[in-house]
A = this chain, B = another copy of it.
């Protein structure tokens, strides 16, 4: 078990002009912004590990995650989420379908379009790989006082307003 410890004082973790973290007193907001970035970098890394283990690419992972978080989506919505071209999404969906992770269903709202849905059975294998991180996280969170948890939820509510305009809108 690693004992690597991040700087915990308020005297670190601000990204400065010279493109590196530099010491010095910084505000809580500054530190939180850096923490968010570190969380994201770590998540991308972990994601890549999982992807490799099950033979997915990163685009395939993003598709699966979006479907799991936001429910059935159209290919065009996934085009936005992944940044792939339309052809790229088609090919990615072919891969995922052949591997049994998704199904293409008709979109009742538009006969040109499709709704991509996840196949629960296949997903179990994948979610199992995230289970340890998630349960560990949940367990740790439960050690925090309720007032802290509420503050964290308010924090995420704030973030939503930052993200809302920079995120694809699901149009079914």
Contact = CB atoms under 8 A, between A and B. Distances in A.
A68 B20 contact: yes
A112 interface: no
A111 B33 CA distance: 36
A153 to B, nearest CB: 6
Given A39-B36, A83-B49, A137 B159 contact: yes
Stoichiometry (number of copies)? 2
Contacts of A80: 45
Interface string A10-31: 0000010111110000011111
A110 interface: no
Nearest to A16: B120
Given A42-B167, A49-B166, A151-B152, 10 more contacts: A2-B164, A4-B164, A19-B120, A21-B68, A29-B138, A46-B166, A58-B58, A137-B159, A144-B155, A147-B151
Given A28-B141, A151-B151, A41 B156 contact: no
A67 B49 CA distance: 19
